[in-house]
Amino acid sequence: MDTVIARIDPSNPDPGMISRAGGIIRSGGLVAFPTETVYGLGGDALSGDSSRAIYAAKGRPSDNPLIVHIADMKSLGRIVKSVPDKAYALAEKFWPGPLTMIMDKSDEVPYATTGGLDTVAVRFPSDPVAQAFIRAAGGYVAAPSANLSGKPSPTSGKYVVEDMDGRIDMILYGDDSVIGLESTIVDLTGTSPVILRPGYITLEMLRSVLPDVSVDTALLADDDKTPPKAPGMKYRHYAPKGDLVIVEGERPEVIQYITDKLVADASLGKRTGVIASTQTASSYKADVVLDMGDASDHDEIARRLFGLLREMDDEEVDSIYSEAVSGEGVAAAIMNRLLKAAGHNIVVLGDIQT
């Protein structure tokens, strides 16, 4: 299939391109589009055939439900059984934005979109290109992240082209994603709200609106064995081709530990890589050293992380060490993605207070 790659200026999106993209969705096709979190791979959320086409293009198991993207609050009623008061409260504060809410689905949403579940995940993104596209598409766009299954979510149009060129009808190629991590997912179908996936909207932020929000225990477990409630989290997540180890501890000890490992790995003929903060990057001698950003600037680290993991794959590194990121909030979401990528392979040095 020929994929139309359309450059889009986010400050002045070409209406012709947007309506062409919307038309593709209305007639059953697939379009990748930018959002503030990561790029999405969109299809008509109310068409089972479109959702099946999304799974096929991604190479993703079809029991892994998709997020339905809307572009105004009044669209919500049609796809959920009823809008819980808690959803209004969270929407008031965090929509449009990087928050996905799970609610009971209406009959209009096909089971192909929800992976057979009676619930539906809904997000109202803030990205202006995403919003214009969703409106042009008829108001309901089902979209997982626009990566091939087994790759990190794409945070730049160039990664979408890498993964999806030839597999979908069109790519709306805008700016790099400003957040860089997938949305926070909160489940509103139980007695109290539960975070199923951490993200830019943190536990603390959600609790400022709804004090009874908690975190899915499967996310807190330090292994992959407790079954998660978000079906997507049970699948083997992205892992780099090389072995990834996360190293946590006081800065000098972390540098010493990684340096010793690099020497040992190099002597075995391995190609080595380090993901380090701006403050420490120059301390390492490895084949590839990538700067994740200022150690205290978690927003910057979030924005860069998935791109760095792709670079390590492109560089064919065998053995990768990443410094841990410490702190609450976005740092917790970054560590969640890093731990998954590393298969929970983390070395904790010394006596760490957590």
Nearest by Cα to 222 from 334, 305, 345, 309: 345
- Contacting ligand TXA (CB under 6 A), which of 18, 31, 37, 302? 37
* Contact range with ligand TXA by CB under 6 A, out of 75-83, 181-189, 265-273, 283-291: 181-189
**Neighbouring residues of 353: CB distance < 8 A, sequence distance ≥ 6:** none
Using rule CB under 5 A, residue 100 touches Mg ion: no
Q: Select 188 or 295, whichever has its Cβ closest to ligand TXA.
A: 188
Nearer to Mg ion, 131 or 145 (CB): 145
Query: Can you tell me the distance from the alpha carbon of 45 to that of 148, in angstroms, rounded to the nearest whole number?
Result: 19
75 binds, among ligand TXA, Mg ion, none (CB under 5 to 8 A by kind): none
Q: Distance between CA atoms of 15 and 4, rounded to whole angstroms?
A: 16
Tokens 């096709």 identify what position?
29
Q: Which of ligand TXA, Mg ion, none interacts with 66 (beta carbon under 5 to 8 A by kind)? A: ligand TXA
Query: In terms of Cα–Cα distance, which of 187, 197, 204, 219 is closest to 93?
Result: 204
Q: Is residue 102 involved in binding ligand TXA (CB under 6 A)?
A: yes
Closest CB to Mg ion among residues 51, 145: 145
Q: Diameter of the chain by CA atoms? A: 62
**Taking CB under 5 A as the rule, does residue 35 contact Mg ion?**
no
Between CA 62 and CA 69 the distance in angstroms is 18
Query: What is the smallest separation between the CB atom of 187 and ligand TXA, expressed in angstroms?
Result: 6
Work out what residue 100 binds among ligand TXA, Mg ion, none; the CB cut-off runs from 5 to 8 Å by kind: ligand TXA
Shortest Å, Cβ 248 to ligand TXA: 26
Q: Which residues of 251-289 are buried (b: 16+ CB within 10 A; e: fewer)?
A: eeebbebbbebbeebeeeebbbbbbbbeebbebbebbbb
CA angle 332, 333, 338 (to 5 degrees): 95
> Among the candidate windows 163-171, 177-185, 258-266, 267-275, which touches ligand TXA by CB under 6 A?
177-185
233 binds, among Mg ion, ligand TXA, none (CB under 5 to 8 A by kind): ligand TXA
CA distance 127 to 120: 21
- Smallest gap from Cβ 177 to ligand TXA, in A, equals 9
Sheet holding 31-33: strands in order across?
4-7, 170-173, 31-33, 40-44, 141-143, 67-69, 119-123, 99-104, 184-187, 194-197, 214-215
User: With contact defined as beta carbons under 8 Å apart, do 274 and 289 qualify?
Assistant: yes
x-or-dash pattern for ligand TXA, window 190-229, by CB under 6 A?
Answer: ------x---------------------------------
Q: To the nearest whole angstrom, how small is the minimum distance from the Cβ of residue 281 to ligand TXA?
A: 28
Beta strands in the chain (DSSP E): 4-7, 31-33, 40-44, 67-69, 99-104, 119-123, 141-143, 170-173, 184-187, 194-197, 214-215, 243-248, 272-277, 288-293, 319-323, 346-348
Of residues 234 and 270, the one with the C-beta less far from ligand TXA: 234
Q: Does 183 bind ligand TXA (CB under 6 A)?
A: yes
Give the distance from CA 311 to its chain's centroid. Answer: 17
- For the CB of residue 21, give the shortest distance to ligand TXA in the complex, in Å: 15
Among 54, 121, 141, 262, which residue sits at the site for ligand TXA (rule: CB under 6 A)?
121
The distance of closest approach from Cβ of residue 228 to ligand TXA in the complex, given in angstroms and rounded to an integer, is 8
Is residue 145 part of the contact set for Mg ion (CB under 5 A)? yes
DSSP 232: G
Query: Do the bridges between strand 319-323 and strand 243-248 make them parallel or antiparallel, or are there none, so unpaired?
Result: parallel
The site partner of 171 among ligand TXA, Mg ion, none (C-beta below 5 to 8 Å per kind) is none
| 38 binds ligand TXA, rule: CB under 6 A | yes
Which of ligand TXA, Mg ion, none does residue 330 bind (CB under 5 to 8 Å by kind)? none
Residues that bind Mg ion (CB under 5 A): 145
User: Applying CB under 6 A, which residues contact ligand TXA?
Assistant: 35, 37-38, 40, 64-67, 100, 102, 114, 117, 119-121, 123, 143-145, 182-183, 185, 196, 230-233
